[in-house]
């Protein structure tokens, strides 16, 4: 398989995905059914997998454009302002009066683990026609990044336009759901976590050996390169050179929100700079390791100058 093209002047990474306002609660533990639990912290912060991954690319030094949608409300104003401040091109972020801006309620335990509930709002109205309107942007991209927090018809159309133009496609299959068969031949790089890999393969993905099996099964379905992220166990990579494991960096996690998005943004940036898959994955690990030591989604995403080799 050929390597990914280097980013040239005027050729950004293009992200198609969600924009959410995150409502983040710090809790000692997760509440049980019927329980009212006293939290000890609350903040609002820009989020959404698409926006997070775009910001991660930008903070790693990559030109990036986002295709998505918000409502015509205060949350949408704040999200767009934050993206502009981070250097993300938002010319193709629509503002609709038909729905409110998407929201994510995030409960973060003291140990750093989280649980997330989404209300799609305007994200759910992004359609294939919106993607077609941005077809020229996708066709001139260095790399297309997509996830599953916007409707599948929009994701699929973006992947088809990219493939037709010879633009590599990176899919982060989150939130986890079954993928239509027509997705698989279009995936150049697939980046699931343990639970997403488990849903897509039917395997119990809990460690490196099971992640290797899952990666092989996902590769057999059509994904050309597969990276299964395993949180503090590292990442399993599979490509034409076979499967291998990169251990995680040891850190004290504060909040794992946006760790996966940070990994993907750094991975994509490094690949577009011509680094190998292993080098790019290690770079992504370095970025996500710093991300989890901080609270919030976009506020936790590091800048390139903060990373250590």
- Residues forming the active site: 261
260 annotated ligand binder: yes
212 annotated ligand binder: no
Cβ atoms of 66 and 88 closer than 8 Å: yes
Phi, psi of 264 (to 5 degrees): -65, -45
300 annotated ligand binder: yes
Other beta carbons within 10 angstroms of residue 185's beta carbon come to 12
Cβ atoms of 171 and 53 closer than 8 Å: no
3 annotated ligand binder: no
22 annotated ligand binder: yes
20 annotated ligand binder: yes
Q: Where are the alpha helices (DSSP H) in 165-247?
A: 194-201, 208-221
62 annotated ligand binder: no
257 annotated ligand binder: yes
294 annotated ligand binder: yes
Which of 157, 150, 143, 175 is CA-nearest to residue 270?
143
80 annotated ligand binder: no
274 annotated ligand binder: no
- Contacts of residue 217, Cβ cutoff 8 Å, sequence gap at least 6: 201, 203
86 annotated ligand binder: no
Max distance between CA atoms of the chain, in angstroms, equals: 55
Structure letter (DSSP) for residue 231: G
233 annotated ligand binder: no
Alpha carbon 163 to its chain centroid, in Å, reads: 20
Alpha carbon 302 to its chain centroid, in Å, reads: 15
Q: Give the integer Cα–Cα distance in Å for 282 and 147.
A: 21
Rg (CA), the chain: 18
C-alpha distances (whole Å) from 201 to each of 149, 187, 197, 214 are 20, 16, 6, 6
48 annotated ligand binder: yes
- Report the binding-site residues for ATP: 193, 260-261
- Report the binding-site residues for substrate: 20-22, 48-52, 149, 261
- Report the binding-site residues: 20-22, 48-52, 149, 193, 255, 257, 260-261, 291, 294, 296, 300
- Report the binding-site residues for K(+): 255, 257, 291, 294, 296, 300
């Amino acid at each position: 398989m050929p390597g990914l093209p280097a980013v040239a002047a005027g050729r950004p990474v293009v992200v198609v995905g969600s924009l959410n306002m995150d409502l983040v609660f710090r809790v000692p533990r997760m509440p049980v059914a019927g329980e009212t639990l006293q939290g000890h912290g609350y903040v609002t912060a820009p989020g959404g997998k698409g926006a997070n991954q775009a910001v991660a690319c930008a903070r790693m030094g990559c030109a990036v454009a986002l295709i998505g949608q918000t409502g015509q409300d205060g949350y949408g104003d704040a999200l767009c302002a934050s993206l502009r401040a981070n250097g993300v091109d938002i010319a193709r972020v629509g503002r609709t009066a038909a729905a409110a801006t998407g929201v994510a309620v995030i409960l973060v335990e003291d140990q750093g683990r989280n649980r997330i509930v989404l209300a799609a709002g305007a994200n759910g109205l992004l359609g294939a026609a919106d993607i077609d309107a941005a077809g020229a942007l996708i066709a001139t991209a260095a790399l297309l990044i997509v996830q599953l927090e916007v409707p599948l018809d929009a994701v699929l159309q973006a992947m088809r336009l990219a493939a037709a133009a010879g633009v590599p496609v990176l899919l982060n299959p989150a939130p986890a759901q079954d993928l239509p068969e027509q997705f698989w031949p279009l995936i150049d790089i697939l980046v699931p976590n343990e639970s997403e890999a488990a849903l897509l393969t039917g395997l119990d993905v809990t460690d490196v050996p099971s992640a290797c099996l899952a990666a092989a099964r996902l590769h057999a379905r059509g994904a050309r390169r597969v990276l299964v992220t395993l949180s503090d166990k590292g990442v399993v990579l599979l490509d034409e050179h076979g499967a291998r494991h990169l251990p995680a960096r040891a850190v004290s996690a504060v909040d794992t929100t946006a760790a996966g998005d940070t990994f993907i943004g750094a991975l994509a940036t490094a690949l577009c700079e011509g680094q190998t898959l292993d080098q790019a994955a290690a770079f992504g690990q370095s970025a996500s390791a710093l991300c989890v030591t901080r609270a919030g989604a976009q506020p936790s995403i590091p800048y390139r100058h903060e990373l250590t080799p």
